[in-house]
Structure 1
Amino acid sequence: MQHPYNVWGTLPSGSSSEIPPSIYGALPWDGSSSNAPSLYAFYFTTLNPSIIDCTVIGPNNEPQFYVTTNSTMPGYTVLKAADGRSLGLIEWKNSSSQVEIRGAVPKQATNDFLRLSHDHRYRIMRVGGRDYILTSDEDGIRMYLGGDMSSKMLAKVTRNPSSFKLEISSDAVQAGLLHSAVVAIVLLESGLRI
Protein backbone atom coordinates (compact mmCIF):
# COMPACT_ATOMS: atom_id res chain seq x y z
CA MET A 1 0.00 0.00 0.00
CA GLN A 2 1.28 3.44 -0.93
CA HIS A 3 1.67 6.04 1.79
CA PRO A 4 -1.13 8.64 1.26
CA TYR A 5 1.16 11.65 1.61
CA ASN A 6 3.56 10.28 -0.99
CA VAL A 7 1.53 11.69 -3.88
CA TRP A 8 2.46 15.23 -2.85
CA GLY A 9 5.98 14.69 -4.08
CA THR A 10 5.21 12.56 -7.12
CA LEU A 11 3.18 13.27 -10.20
CA PRO A 12 1.81 10.87 -12.79
CA SER A 13 3.56 11.13 -16.16
CA GLY A 14 2.06 13.73 -18.46
CA SER A 15 0.35 15.63 -15.64
CA SER A 16 0.66 19.26 -14.75
CA SER A 17 2.77 20.41 -11.83
CA GLU A 18 -0.33 21.12 -9.74
CA ILE A 19 -2.09 18.33 -7.86
CA PRO A 20 -5.87 18.83 -7.91
CA PRO A 21 -7.60 19.50 -4.60
CA SER A 22 -8.76 16.53 -2.61
CA ILE A 23 -12.41 15.62 -2.40
CA TYR A 24 -11.62 13.42 0.58
CA GLY A 25 -10.61 16.20 2.97
CA ALA A 26 -7.02 16.78 4.06
CA LEU A 27 -5.45 13.94 2.09
CA PRO A 28 -4.32 14.71 -1.45
CA TRP A 29 -6.14 13.16 -4.39
CA ASP A 30 -3.88 11.13 -6.65
CA GLY A 31 -6.03 11.40 -9.75
CA SER A 32 -7.18 7.79 -9.76
CA SER A 33 -10.87 7.13 -9.75
CA SER A 34 -10.69 3.49 -8.69
CA ASN A 35 -11.32 4.33 -5.01
CA ALA A 36 -13.58 7.31 -5.60
CA PRO A 37 -17.34 6.79 -5.56
CA SER A 38 -19.02 7.58 -8.88
CA LEU A 39 -21.73 9.70 -7.22
CA TYR A 40 -21.67 11.92 -4.15
CA ALA A 41 -24.95 12.62 -2.35
CA PHE A 42 -25.79 16.01 -0.81
CA TYR A 43 -29.05 16.72 1.03
CA PHE A 44 -30.70 20.14 1.28
CA THR A 45 -32.33 19.87 4.71
CA THR A 46 -33.87 22.01 7.44
CA LEU A 47 -35.68 24.12 4.84
CA ASN A 48 -36.68 27.23 6.77
CA PRO A 49 -39.20 27.72 5.22
CA SER A 50 -37.74 26.94 1.78
CA ILE A 51 -34.50 26.08 0.01
CA ILE A 52 -33.28 29.69 0.28
CA ASP A 53 -32.68 28.98 3.99
CA CYS A 54 -31.30 25.50 4.48
CA THR A 55 -28.37 23.30 5.45
CA VAL A 56 -26.65 21.12 2.85
CA ILE A 57 -25.44 17.85 4.35
CA GLY A 58 -22.50 16.22 2.56
CA PRO A 59 -21.54 12.60 1.90
CA ASN A 60 -19.99 12.43 5.39
CA ASN A 61 -23.41 13.25 6.98
CA GLU A 62 -22.11 16.58 8.27
CA PRO A 63 -23.04 20.12 7.17
CA GLN A 64 -21.10 21.00 4.02
CA PHE A 65 -22.81 24.28 3.11
CA TYR A 66 -25.31 26.73 4.53
CA VAL A 67 -27.75 28.64 2.34
CA THR A 68 -28.92 31.71 4.24
CA THR A 69 -31.35 34.52 3.55
CA ASN A 70 -31.87 36.66 6.60
CA SER A 71 -33.23 40.02 7.65
CA THR A 72 -29.76 41.57 8.08
CA MET A 73 -29.28 41.32 4.30
CA PRO A 74 -32.77 41.51 2.80
CA GLY A 75 -32.84 40.50 -0.86
CA TYR A 76 -29.63 38.44 -0.65
CA THR A 77 -29.08 34.71 -0.37
CA VAL A 78 -25.55 33.58 0.54
CA LEU A 79 -23.96 30.16 0.02
CA LYS A 80 -21.41 29.55 2.77
CA ALA A 81 -19.01 26.69 3.40
CA ALA A 82 -19.22 24.92 6.76
CA ASP A 83 -16.22 26.99 7.91
CA GLY A 84 -18.10 30.25 7.19
CA ARG A 85 -16.40 31.23 3.90
CA SER A 86 -18.77 32.86 1.41
CA LEU A 87 -18.86 30.86 -1.82
CA GLY A 88 -21.79 32.34 -3.71
CA LEU A 89 -24.31 35.15 -3.65
CA ILE A 90 -27.77 35.59 -5.15
CA GLU A 91 -29.16 39.11 -5.26
CA TRP A 92 -32.93 38.92 -5.68
CA LYS A 93 -34.41 41.80 -7.70
CA ASN A 94 -37.81 42.28 -9.30
CA SER A 95 -36.39 43.11 -12.71
CA SER A 96 -33.25 40.98 -12.96
CA SER A 97 -31.76 38.96 -10.12
CA GLN A 98 -27.99 38.47 -10.11
CA VAL A 99 -25.68 35.64 -9.13
CA GLU A 100 -21.98 35.30 -8.37
CA ILE A 101 -20.01 32.15 -7.48
CA ARG A 102 -16.52 32.74 -6.15
CA GLY A 103 -13.86 31.44 -8.56
CA ALA A 104 -16.38 30.04 -11.05
CA VAL A 105 -19.03 32.53 -12.18
CA PRO A 106 -18.52 36.32 -12.29
CA LYS A 107 -21.46 38.48 -11.21
CA GLN A 108 -24.16 38.27 -13.86
CA ALA A 109 -27.92 38.16 -14.33
CA THR A 110 -29.43 34.88 -13.19
CA ASN A 111 -31.18 34.50 -16.55
CA ASP A 112 -27.71 34.60 -18.19
CA PHE A 113 -26.28 32.07 -15.71
CA LEU A 114 -29.28 29.77 -16.28
CA ARG A 115 -30.47 30.84 -19.72
CA LEU A 116 -33.44 29.19 -21.38
CA SER A 117 -32.88 27.17 -24.56
CA HIS A 118 -34.47 28.51 -27.75
CA ASP A 119 -37.30 25.99 -27.51
CA HIS A 120 -37.73 26.58 -23.71
CA ARG A 121 -37.24 22.83 -22.96
CA TYR A 122 -34.17 23.19 -20.75
CA ARG A 123 -31.75 25.67 -19.19
CA ILE A 124 -28.10 26.14 -20.05
CA MET A 125 -25.61 26.84 -17.25
CA ARG A 126 -22.23 28.23 -18.32
CA VAL A 127 -19.32 27.58 -15.94
CA GLY A 128 -15.62 27.78 -16.79
CA GLY A 129 -16.24 28.33 -20.49
CA ARG A 130 -18.37 25.17 -20.82
CA ASP A 131 -22.11 24.76 -21.16
CA TYR A 132 -24.16 22.34 -19.08
CA ILE A 133 -27.77 21.40 -19.78
CA LEU A 134 -30.30 21.28 -16.94
CA THR A 135 -33.58 19.54 -17.70
CA SER A 136 -36.58 19.23 -15.43
CA ASP A 137 -39.23 16.53 -15.23
CA GLU A 138 -41.61 15.07 -12.65
CA ASP A 139 -38.70 13.26 -10.97
CA GLY A 140 -36.48 16.34 -10.57
CA ILE A 141 -33.61 18.02 -12.39
CA ARG A 142 -30.83 16.41 -14.45
CA MET A 143 -27.52 17.99 -15.52
CA TYR A 144 -25.58 16.97 -18.63
CA LEU A 145 -22.52 18.27 -20.42
CA GLY A 146 -23.64 20.78 -23.06
CA GLY A 147 -24.28 19.63 -26.60
CA ASP A 148 -27.03 17.08 -26.18
CA MET A 149 -28.84 15.17 -23.48
CA SER A 150 -27.47 11.84 -24.66
CA SER A 151 -24.16 12.65 -22.97
CA LYS A 152 -23.31 11.27 -19.53
CA MET A 153 -25.50 12.60 -16.74
CA LEU A 154 -23.35 14.64 -14.33
CA ALA A 155 -25.90 15.31 -11.61
CA LYS A 156 -29.50 14.81 -10.65
CA VAL A 157 -31.77 16.39 -8.07
CA THR A 158 -34.75 14.63 -6.57
CA ARG A 159 -37.44 16.28 -4.49
CA ASN A 160 -38.83 14.97 -1.23
CA PRO A 161 -41.53 16.60 0.91
CA SER A 162 -38.99 18.10 3.33
CA SER A 163 -35.68 18.05 1.43
CA PHE A 164 -33.85 17.87 -1.87
CA LYS A 165 -31.18 15.34 -2.79
CA LEU A 166 -28.32 16.22 -5.15
CA GLU A 167 -26.36 13.30 -6.56
CA ILE A 168 -23.33 14.62 -8.41
CA SER A 169 -20.71 12.60 -10.26
CA SER A 170 -17.08 12.55 -9.23
CA ASP A 171 -16.28 13.94 -12.72
CA ALA A 172 -18.46 17.00 -12.02
CA VAL A 173 -16.90 17.50 -8.57
CA GLN A 174 -13.39 17.31 -10.04
CA ALA A 175 -14.43 19.80 -12.76
CA GLY A 176 -15.35 22.30 -9.99
CA LEU A 177 -19.10 22.22 -10.59
CA LEU A 178 -20.30 21.52 -7.05
CA HIS A 179 -20.78 25.14 -5.90
CA SER A 180 -22.38 26.13 -9.22
CA ALA A 181 -24.73 23.14 -9.05
CA VAL A 182 -25.79 24.01 -5.49
CA VAL A 183 -26.51 27.64 -6.45
CA ALA A 184 -28.39 26.54 -9.60
CA ILE A 185 -30.58 24.22 -7.51
CA VAL A 186 -31.34 27.01 -5.05
CA LEU A 187 -32.34 29.28 -7.94
CA LEU A 188 -34.45 26.67 -9.73
CA GLU A 189 -36.18 25.32 -6.60
CA SER A 190 -36.67 28.64 -4.80
CA GLY A 191 -40.03 29.36 -6.41
CA LEU A 192 -38.76 32.90 -6.99
CA ARG A 193 -38.44 34.55 -10.37
CA ILE A 194 -34.99 34.22 -11.92
Structure 2
Amino acid sequence: MFNPFDSWSQAGNGQSASNAWNGVGQPPSVFGALPYPSDPNYSSMVTFYFTSFNPNILNCSVVGPRAQTYYRIVTDNQMPGYSVIKNAEGRNVSLVEWQTLPMIEVRGVLAKQHVRTWLGLTSDRSSRTMTVRGMQYTWSPSDKSINLYAGGPRDRKFLARISRANGAISLDMTSDAMQLGLLDIVVVAAFLLQCGRNID
Protein backbone atom coordinates (compact mmCIF):
# COMPACT_ATOMS: atom_id res chain seq x y z
CA MET A 1 0.00 0.00 0.00
CA PHE A 2 1.34 3.42 -0.95
CA ASN A 3 2.17 5.61 2.02
CA PRO A 4 2.53 9.29 1.08
CA PHE A 5 4.60 9.89 4.20
CA ASP A 6 7.40 7.45 3.33
CA SER A 7 9.22 9.50 0.73
CA TRP A 8 9.65 12.75 2.65
CA SER A 9 12.33 11.35 4.96
CA GLN A 10 14.47 9.94 2.18
CA ALA A 11 17.45 11.96 1.11
CA GLY A 12 17.56 13.48 -2.33
CA ASN A 13 13.85 14.13 -2.54
CA GLY A 14 13.95 17.45 -4.37
CA GLN A 15 15.10 18.40 -7.81
CA SER A 16 18.76 18.71 -8.55
CA ALA A 17 20.17 22.19 -8.97
CA SER A 18 20.41 21.75 -12.73
CA ASN A 19 16.79 20.61 -13.00
CA ALA A 20 15.59 23.42 -10.77
CA TRP A 21 17.00 25.97 -13.19
CA ASN A 22 15.49 24.20 -16.24
CA GLY A 23 18.91 23.94 -17.81
CA VAL A 24 19.00 27.66 -18.66
CA GLY A 25 22.48 28.96 -17.91
CA GLN A 26 24.00 28.60 -14.48
CA PRO A 27 22.24 29.26 -11.21
CA PRO A 28 22.93 32.77 -9.92
CA SER A 29 25.78 33.21 -7.47
CA VAL A 30 24.69 33.67 -3.87
CA PHE A 31 28.13 34.77 -2.72
CA GLY A 32 27.74 37.96 -0.74
CA ALA A 33 23.96 37.88 -0.94
CA LEU A 34 21.86 39.07 1.94
CA PRO A 35 20.37 36.38 4.16
CA TYR A 36 17.19 34.89 2.76
CA PRO A 37 14.18 36.11 4.74
CA SER A 38 12.67 33.51 7.02
CA ASP A 39 9.24 32.10 6.30
CA PRO A 40 6.66 33.85 8.51
CA ASN A 41 4.90 30.49 8.87
CA TYR A 42 7.81 29.22 10.93
CA SER A 43 8.37 32.18 13.23
CA SER A 44 7.63 31.88 16.96
CA MET A 45 7.60 28.10 16.93
CA VAL A 46 7.81 25.87 20.01
CA THR A 47 9.96 22.79 19.35
CA PHE A 48 9.57 19.35 20.90
CA TYR A 49 11.86 16.36 20.36
CA PHE A 50 11.09 12.66 20.40
CA THR A 51 14.19 11.34 22.15
CA SER A 52 15.64 8.58 24.38
CA PHE A 53 14.45 5.87 21.98
CA ASN A 54 14.45 2.46 23.68
CA PRO A 55 15.03 1.02 21.14
CA ASN A 56 12.70 3.15 18.97
CA ILE A 57 9.84 5.66 19.12
CA LEU A 58 7.54 3.03 20.68
CA ASN A 59 9.42 3.68 23.95
CA CYS A 60 10.70 7.23 24.16
CA SER A 61 10.38 10.66 25.76
CA VAL A 62 9.10 13.89 24.27
CA VAL A 63 11.02 16.89 25.54
CA GLY A 64 10.25 20.54 24.99
CA PRO A 65 11.64 23.94 25.96
CA ARG A 66 14.40 23.90 28.61
CA ALA A 67 14.80 20.14 27.99
CA GLN A 68 11.71 19.49 30.12
CA THR A 69 9.99 16.12 29.60
CA TYR A 70 6.41 16.69 28.46
CA TYR A 71 5.42 13.11 27.55
CA ARG A 72 6.59 9.53 27.82
CA ILE A 73 5.57 6.92 25.28
CA VAL A 74 5.52 3.42 26.75
CA THR A 75 4.94 0.16 24.92
CA ASP A 76 5.04 -2.22 27.87
CA ASN A 77 5.92 -5.88 27.46
CA GLN A 78 3.42 -6.61 30.26
CA MET A 79 0.65 -5.10 28.10
CA PRO A 80 1.51 -6.51 24.68
CA GLY A 81 -0.24 -4.76 21.87
CA TYR A 82 -0.64 -1.40 23.63
CA SER A 83 1.23 1.91 23.58
CA VAL A 84 0.43 4.49 26.24
CA ILE A 85 1.30 8.19 26.02
CA LYS A 86 1.65 9.73 29.48
CA ASN A 87 2.00 13.42 30.31
CA ALA A 88 4.63 14.95 32.62
CA GLU A 89 2.45 14.17 35.66
CA GLY A 90 2.28 10.50 34.68
CA ARG A 91 -1.39 10.60 33.65
CA ASN A 92 -2.48 8.67 30.58
CA VAL A 93 -3.15 11.00 27.64
CA SER A 94 -3.68 8.41 24.92
CA LEU A 95 -3.90 4.68 24.37
CA VAL A 96 -3.09 2.93 21.09
CA GLU A 97 -4.22 -0.68 20.64
CA TRP A 98 -2.07 -2.41 18.05
CA GLN A 99 -4.40 -4.83 16.29
CA THR A 100 -5.01 -5.71 12.67
CA LEU A 101 -6.83 -2.37 12.49
CA PRO A 102 -5.16 -0.23 15.22
CA MET A 103 -7.39 1.73 17.60
CA ILE A 104 -6.74 5.14 19.19
CA GLU A 105 -8.22 6.97 22.15
CA VAL A 106 -7.22 10.40 23.49
CA ARG A 107 -8.70 11.08 26.91
CA GLY A 108 -11.24 13.89 26.89
CA VAL A 109 -10.67 14.68 23.22
CA LEU A 110 -11.10 11.60 21.03
CA ALA A 111 -13.37 8.62 21.67
CA LYS A 112 -11.93 5.18 20.89
CA GLN A 113 -11.90 4.55 17.14
CA HIS A 114 -9.81 3.09 14.35
CA VAL A 115 -6.66 5.07 13.59
CA ARG A 116 -7.44 4.89 9.87
CA THR A 117 -10.81 6.56 10.55
CA TRP A 118 -9.30 9.39 12.58
CA LEU A 119 -6.13 9.85 10.47
CA GLY A 120 -7.71 8.92 7.17
CA LEU A 121 -6.02 9.19 3.80
CA THR A 122 -7.53 11.70 1.38
CA SER A 123 -9.09 10.33 -1.81
CA ASP A 124 -5.91 11.07 -3.80
CA ARG A 125 -3.84 9.46 -0.99
CA SER A 126 -1.55 12.51 -0.83
CA SER A 127 -2.48 13.68 2.69
CA ARG A 128 -4.20 12.61 5.88
CA THR A 129 -7.05 14.40 7.60
CA MET A 130 -7.97 14.44 11.28
CA THR A 131 -10.92 15.92 13.11
CA VAL A 132 -10.47 17.44 16.57
CA ARG A 133 -13.37 19.03 18.48
CA GLY A 134 -15.34 19.39 15.26
CA MET A 135 -12.49 21.09 13.36
CA GLN A 136 -10.80 19.40 10.41
CA TYR A 137 -7.03 19.46 9.97
CA THR A 138 -4.75 18.10 7.25
CA TRP A 139 -1.28 16.51 7.45
CA SER A 140 0.59 16.97 4.15
CA PRO A 141 4.14 15.98 3.18
CA SER A 142 6.22 19.00 2.15
CA ASP A 143 9.84 18.54 1.12
CA LYS A 144 11.48 17.03 4.22
CA SER A 145 8.65 17.60 6.68
CA ILE A 146 5.02 16.69 7.28
CA ASN A 147 3.01 19.85 7.86
CA LEU A 148 -0.25 20.31 9.73
CA TYR A 149 -2.79 22.79 8.38
CA ALA A 150 -6.22 24.02 9.42
CA GLY A 151 -8.79 25.12 6.87
CA GLY A 152 -9.32 24.22 3.25
CA PRO A 153 -6.91 24.25 0.30
CA ARG A 154 -7.46 27.95 -0.45
CA ASP A 155 -7.35 29.37 3.06
CA ARG A 156 -5.25 26.83 4.92
CA LYS A 157 -3.27 27.95 7.94
CA PHE A 158 0.05 26.35 8.92
CA LEU A 159 0.06 25.02 12.51
CA ALA A 160 2.85 22.46 12.97
CA ARG A 161 5.46 20.30 11.27
CA ILE A 162 7.21 17.01 11.90
CA SER A 163 10.76 16.67 10.61
CA ARG A 164 13.68 14.26 10.85
CA ALA A 165 17.35 15.11 10.99
CA ASN A 166 20.33 13.03 12.08
CA GLY A 167 18.08 10.27 13.40
CA ALA A 168 16.04 12.65 15.57
CA ILE A 169 12.36 13.50 15.20
CA SER A 170 11.29 17.05 15.95
CA LEU A 171 7.83 18.59 16.22
CA ASP A 172 7.52 22.35 15.75
CA MET A 173 4.24 23.99 16.77
CA THR A 174 3.08 27.54 16.16
CA SER A 175 1.76 29.68 18.98
CA ASP A 176 -1.68 29.42 17.32
CA ALA A 177 -1.59 25.63 17.59
CA MET A 178 -0.58 25.86 21.24
CA GLN A 179 -3.39 28.33 21.99
CA LEU A 180 -5.88 26.00 20.30
CA GLY A 181 -4.87 23.33 22.85
CA LEU A 182 -3.60 20.95 20.17
CA LEU A 183 -0.38 19.81 21.85
CA ASP A 184 -1.67 16.46 23.18
CA ILE A 185 -3.43 15.53 19.96
CA VAL A 186 -0.57 16.62 17.69
CA VAL A 187 1.98 14.62 19.73
CA VAL A 188 -0.28 11.56 19.39
CA ALA A 189 -0.65 12.09 15.63
CA ALA A 190 3.10 12.64 15.20
CA PHE A 191 3.77 9.40 17.07
CA LEU A 192 1.37 7.48 14.83
CA LEU A 193 2.82 9.01 11.65
CA GLN A 194 6.38 8.16 12.73
CA CYS A 195 5.93 4.81 14.48
CA GLY A 196 6.74 2.72 11.42
CA ARG A 197 3.70 0.49 11.89
CA ASN A 198 0.79 0.11 9.52
CA ILE A 199 -1.99 2.45 10.73
CA ASP A 200 -4.41 1.65 7.92
**TM bin (shorter chain):** 0.7 to 0.9
Aligned to 1:83, the other structure's residue is in SS state coil
In the other structure, the counterpart of 2:186 is: 181
Aligned to 1:186, the other structure's residue is in SS state helix
Identity %: 39
CA distance in 2, matches of 1:185, 1:151: 19
Superposition pairs of residues 37-76 of structure 1, within 5 angstroms: 38-76=44-82
Deviations 1:129-152 (A, max 9, x none): 011000124412100003127522
The residue type paired with residue 98 of structure 1 is: M
Superposition pairs of residues 1-194 of structure 1, within 5 angstroms: 38-94=44-100, 96-148=101-153, 151-194=156-199
Say which one has the larger Rg. 2
State the structure with bigger RCO (CA 8 A, min sep 6), 1 or 2: 2
Aligned to 1:111, the other structure's residue is in SS state helix
Matched residue pairs, number? 157
User: Residues 56 and 126 from structure 1, CA distance in 2 versus in 1: closer, same or farther, beyond 3 angstroms?
Assistant: same
Aligned to 1:181, the other structure's residue is in SS state helix
Aligned to 2:171, the other structure's residue is in SS state strand
C-alpha contact 2:151 2:157 (8 A) present in aligned 1: no
RMSD: 1.5
The residue type paired with residue 48 of structure 2 is: F
CA distance in 2, matches of 1:57, 1:111: 27
User: Residues 87 and 140 from structure 1, CA distance in 2 versus in 1: closer, same or farther, beyond 3 angstroms?
Assistant: same
- Cα shift at 1:49: 1.9
User: Residues 48 and 149 from structure 1, CA distance in 2 versus in 1: closer, same or farther, beyond 3 angstroms?
Assistant: farther
Aligned to 1:60, the other structure's residue is in SS state helix
User: Residues 50 and 152 from structure 1, CA distance in 2 versus in 1: closer, same or farther, beyond 3 angstroms?
Assistant: same
TM-score under structure 1 length normalisation? 0.77
